[in-house]
Amino acid sequence: MDDSADDEPTMPGMDLPETPAPAASSGPYRVLARKYRPQTFAELIGQDAMVKTLGNAIARDRLAHAFLMTGVRGVGKTSTARLIAKALNCIGPDGQGGPTIDPCGVCEPCRAITEGRHIDVIEMDAASNTGVDDVREIIEAVRYAAVSARYKIYIIDEVHMLSRNAFNALLKTLEEPPPHVKFLFATTEVNKVPVTVLSRCQRFDLRRITPDMLFAHFSAILQKEGVEAEAPAIWLIANAAEGSVRDGLSILDQAIAHADLDGGGRIGADQVRTMLGLSDRTAIAQLMAAILEGDSGGAIDLARAQYALGIEPVAMVRGLMDLTHAVTLAKVSRHDDPALAASDRERIGDWAKKLGFAPLNRLWQLLLKGHDEVLRATNPLEHLEMLLLRVIYAASLPDPGELAKLLESGGVPAMPLGAPPAPTGRESAAAAGPVPESAETPASALTIAQIHQLLESTGHHQLARQVYDDLKLVELEPGLLVYAPVPALDGDFARRLGEALLAQTGSRWQVRSGEGEGRPSLGQMRAAKLADNESRIRELPVVKAALAAFPDARLVEDDANHQRLNP
């Protein structure tokens, strides 16, 4: 009997799976931001002006002793400092080269600087070394010549973090350093760097990288990585980077991992949108349509549906702001977002044709104010719903100038002020009718309003005020005026009014108090009419919407005795 295991029968179900050989390790994974850090000035995207200036300075041997790179995060400040260090210390493949804007990358100084091990290129993080003692170490070391390089170079990152004493200690050395020393500073907050330091440096403002440059850069990296991606997905990442290459590469790293798990290795726009927590464009477009159509219930339902899917209310507000911005730019033919689908472009174009600049501007202002409210809210969904209602009722309102024109032209019905005017000068004359041309006006031609105006125009101001405010007419006939007794009209009132009417009309008047309550005075009739007008004006749809959008607004009377909304 053969003892060989190969000859032994195998029991069904006991076959062991073959274990694959472990893949050869290629070392720890390096994130894209480190893996694709620019190693030459040609790889530094978006900074052509600075590269040209440095190239000319190197070619003419007019190198400053200190450089300051400033700009937003991730645009290449530290990378630029390292490239300058390589450019100044490169000796070429044959070891005979001098400073060059195109360092070879193969000589020992270039390789050592790239690997961060060059003894004469010292990098310091000012956020961790802020004190004057750290700067004193630099001051002591600059006296000694470089060990193996052409220049001893100090790269200080986030230099604005140095303390005031540290800056002061550095000033003299920075102004007159030894010829073998160069200082390279990088900062995101140049306004915090003392002007005494700025004046001693050659400053380079690194620009934000445009979305189209980022799109091309990320597309090339994806090709090198062997990862497929939809163009709209890359555009979304480029826009989300906000001009920062490092931020964009971090997002791209995350998108690749997300695609590996969920997208079969292909980066899709929907996956990127979900990953970034962006609201769905289609849902935002539907929400915008509901706002423009005044469908308050539909808008709230759409917002709640998005919230249930995990979209934050503030992201929905941002989506509406982005869409409003896109429509406004489309009106001036300046909107070009490659990440948009053809249907989205068509929708934006249609809205741009239908909406004017004034409604779009009001919509933007309402959303901008609401964005901060939703962002700070303890219950963001409730604030979003209130914001949507406010926008629906206020975005399509005419501005105050347009509203005034509508009231004057009859576009919004103006309420007639049938009541007599206030008892003052021209205003009294306008409401009472034509002023009598002669002092002796027939008594039969006078109404109570004309009597009031006649008294006012002839200097009987006290009598005119009493007639307007307190006189409740019981009977008025030619030569007879009977009024209801009120405490404000003393016993001498009837005599004084009769004498004034005799003097102005040439006819004798019988003026006395009678029985009954009488009709309301001129002032009471006017107040009642104004209240009725205000009530009817408040019922106008345009005014109701304005008051709903601006609760603190009130109705006031202007000089022409018309009423209009005054925020």
Q: Which pair of tokens denotes residue 129?
A: 């070394």
Least confident of 72-86, 211-225, 293-307, 527-541: 527-541
CATH class of 211-276: mainly alpha
Residue-wise pLDDT tens digits, 454-512:
888 888 888 889 999 888 888 888 888 888 888 888 878 888 888 888 888 878 888 88
DSSP 209-256: PPHHHHHHHHHHHHHHHT-EE-HHHHHHHHHHTTT-HHHHHHHHHHHH
Residue 333: band (very low, low, confident or very high) from pLDDT cuts 50, 70, 90? confident
- Mean pLDDT, to the nearest integer, of 152-164? 91
- Mean pLDDT, to the nearest integer, of 340-367? 81
- Percent of the chain at pLDDT exceeding 70: 80
- CATH fold of 425-524: GMP Synthetase; Chain A, domain 3 (3.30.300)
pLDDT on residue 4: 44
Burial of 376 (0-12, 13-18, 19+ CB in 10 A): exposed
Least confident of 105-109, 193-197, 395-399, 541-545: 395-399
pLDDT on residue 11: 42
Residue 181: pLDDT above 60?
yes
CATH 3.30.300.30 for the 32-205 domain, yes or no: no
| Total-model pTM | 0.56
Of 302, 239, 245, give the one whose Cα is nearest residue 276.
Answer: 239
Burial of 201 (0-12, 13-18, 19+ CB in 10 A): buried
Q: Going by DSSP bridges, is the β-strand pair 480-483/510-513 parallel, antiparallel, or unpaired?
A: parallel
pLDDT on residue 137: 87
Burial of 176 (0-12, 13-18, 19+ CB in 10 A): exposed
Q: Cα–Cα distance between 391 and 34 in angstroms, integer?
A: 46
CATH architecture entry for 281-394: Up-down Bundle (1.20)
Q: Cα–Cα distance between 474 and 476 in angstroms, integer?
A: 7
pLDDT on residue 397: 58
- Relative orientation angle of helices 461-469 and 493-505, to the nearest 10 degrees: 110
pLDDT on residue 153: 92
Give the count of beta carbons closer than 10 Å to the beta carbon of residue 427.
15
Residue 9: pLDDT above 60?
no
Q: Cα–Cα distance between 374 and 253 in angstroms, integer?
A: 31
The full set of domain ranges for the chain reads 32-205, 211-276, 281-394, 425-524
- Mean pLDDT, to the nearest integer, of 210-239? 88
Residue 233: band (very low, low, confident or very high) from pLDDT cuts 50, 70, 90? confident
Residue 440: pLDDT above 50?
no
